[in-house]
Structure 1
Amino acid sequence: MLDIESLTPREALGKALADLGDLRSDVVVLVADTGETTRAKLFAERHPERFFNVGIAEQSLVGIAAGLALAGFMPYALTFAAFMTRGWEQARNSVDRLALPVRLVGTHAGFADAYDGPSHQALEDIALFRVLPNFTVMAPADSCEVYKAVTASATLKGPAYIRVGRDFHIPVTCGLYDKFEIGKAYVVLDGSDVAIFTTGVVLPFAIEAAQFLKDRGISAAVVHFPTIKPLDYAAVEKYASVTGAVLTVEEHMVYGGFGSAIAEYLSQTRPTKMAIMGLKSYGRTAKSPQELYQYFGLTPENIAARAEELVKLK
């Protein structure tokens, strides 16, 4: 059996789709001329009769997926996350308003495509899909979680947006839990002074930051939210109550994303000292995602420093 941990996130995506195709004859996969780059080709190799390349036409990608859903299929539509947003109108009007079981998978999300510059770096996609009432929104942390999230998405009755990277990942969830549950947060480290909430690939940065804080005598909880919508409100409530200080970290704009979802809830239920770490501008061209994390301050050291500031504010 292939070790999922050894795969890149996009390879885990392709394998998950191919395996789903083995289990379900209603699963179809569509791409916008991105079969190779998203690794959807792994599905195409096993199930060529259920694989469709619509060309570089993202609005058609989403619209055709909606039509296939109306015909009784379970479509997975794949393209770069930055370009999936071109089909947002179709996602709203053709998919969400009818609550169709369409899964939109945005690959190369965040800084994953560092090499092609800001035009290819999706830093707004969580906000755009989180605002649609019927959409489930997921951001797995690594290849193991990509495989589990894609597999679990087949149980949903409504639409979903799944955010996937490219090649960079630090596998930390593979032994973290046995079963992926949509809408559930996972406690990676317990703590009492500050809670660091994460989603997506920045989870290992938060774990390292918690160690820095421990060395300074600060007890930091790390709670990972692979599902951004629906949010695990019980986990948010518990750790906001225990620590009185919440820091959210995401590879996304600070406007309307994961941190905003946490803030929306806490501001109405339990006002808490809080900070949101993410981006406030577009990305830039770089040789690697790691170079961009460093440039924009999404590093374990900076996470630890911001968390320590929150503790002092308490």
Structure 2
Amino acid sequence: MIASFADPGQRTAPAPFGHALARLAEQDARIVGLSADLAKYTDMHVFRDAHPQRFFQMGMAEQTMLGAAAGMAEVGLVPFASTYSVFATRRAYDFLCLDIAEPNLNVNVVGALPGLTTGYGPSHQATEDLAILRGCPNLTIVDPCDAVDIEQAVPQLAAAPGPTYLRLLRGNVPSVLDEYDYRFQLGKAAELRTGRDVVLISTGLMTMRALQAAQRLEADSVDVAVLHVPTVKPLDREAVLAAARTDRLVVTLENHTVVGGLAESVASTLAFAGVGTRVVPIALPDEFLAAGALPTLHDRYGLSTDAIVQRVRAELGGTPRPTRPGAAQPTVPPTA
């Protein structure tokens, strides 16, 4: 059973990554797929069944899989190598860094179960994968919101000249962004909603929650903008600066530890540009998380829509608002 973060009755698409990769392979003979004994659980089985001669089952050997993908890229193929995010980052980082990123090869690493998308506990919860990989040169990092993002991202990842890392949402994945006239552009953020009072800068599945929270807050006459950041590295700094250079409350949302992910990337962007805007991080705490049911865990760790709405209301009610664009704000410890 694949746990889903989709809401009851929400519109979903089955295995969007696998179907997008299989379609792309029909047009591009260079596309190959690899799996570390997890094809079914990374949606790579869709590609395997459609193109069995171009699929390589590497067994439970993630280092070998990434090394083989590097060799395939050296001879002109375009590999997509899939496993769980914890194994691609914690277990095989050296191979990703030196075999793939250092020679700047077109290898696309696909990591399932990013952040808090499983209740299996710390052995499978990749809550720190962005922190690990943001420091790797040449690597492009994509954290999609939904099935629309994934389907549109796959061809662009294949076309990118260097290595990429995709935080995969698997199984029945919600479809949300097609309601917002959205198109995925590698390296670009997208403003999905405008708003005068609050701007939510979000990535990954948290953009879905940001949109839900914005609709809920409308009932309180709170006008909320949502800036979706599907590419975490390289960050669309111009879009982030434009969003933060106002008198709005700035909140970041990510399915990742508060250490080393979107919040710190946004905060450093503002600091380096001399913008003194306070950033409120909604993220996972800097700790190993519990096992359990996803809805319960998302409530417990502040990723649910209810938790986001409560946090924004508290910030608006208890935090002095700036009186001019770029006004400095008191600093607070980075808690989830």
Alignment of 1:1-314 (within 5 A): 6-8=12-14, 11-85=15-89, 86-114=91-119, 116-167=120-171, 169-269=173-273, 270-280=275-285, 281-287=287-293, 289-311=294-316, 312-314=319-321
Shift of residue 230, structure 1, vs aligned partner: 1.5
SS in 2 for 1:242: coil
Shift of residue 158, structure 1, vs aligned partner: 0.5
Q: Which amino acid aligns with 1:283?
A: L
SS in 1 for 2:200: strand
Which is worse superposed, 18-27 or 298-307?
298-307
* Equivalent pair of 2:12/2:173 in contact (CA under 8 Å): no
Shift of residue 14, structure 1, vs aligned partner: 0.6
RMSD: 1.7
SS in 2 for 1:100: coil
2-structure distance, mates of 1:279, 1:47? 38
Under a length normalisation based on structure 1, what TM-score does the superposition of the two structures give?
Answer: 0.92
Shift of residue 77, structure 1, vs aligned partner: 0.5
Q: Which amino acid aligns with 1:229?
A: K
Give deviations 1:174-217, integer Å, cap 9, x for gaps: 23235321011111211122211111112222122223333333
Q: Which amino acid aligns with 2:31?
A: V
Compared CA separation, residues 12 and 190, structure 1 to 2 (3 A): same
Compared CA separation, residues 296 and 126, structure 1 to 2 (3 A): same
* Equivalent pair of 2:107/2:163 in contact (CA under 8 Å): yes
SS in 1 for 2:92: helix
Q: Which amino acid aligns with 2:117?
A: A
Listed as ranges, the gaps of 5+ residues in structure 1 are: none
Shift of residue 36, structure 1, vs aligned partner: 1.5
Shift of residue 129, structure 1, vs aligned partner: 1.6
Shift of residue 313, structure 1, vs aligned partner: 2.8
Q: Paired residues, what number?
A: 306
Under a length normalisation based on structure 2, what TM-score does the superposition of the two structures give?
Answer: 0.86
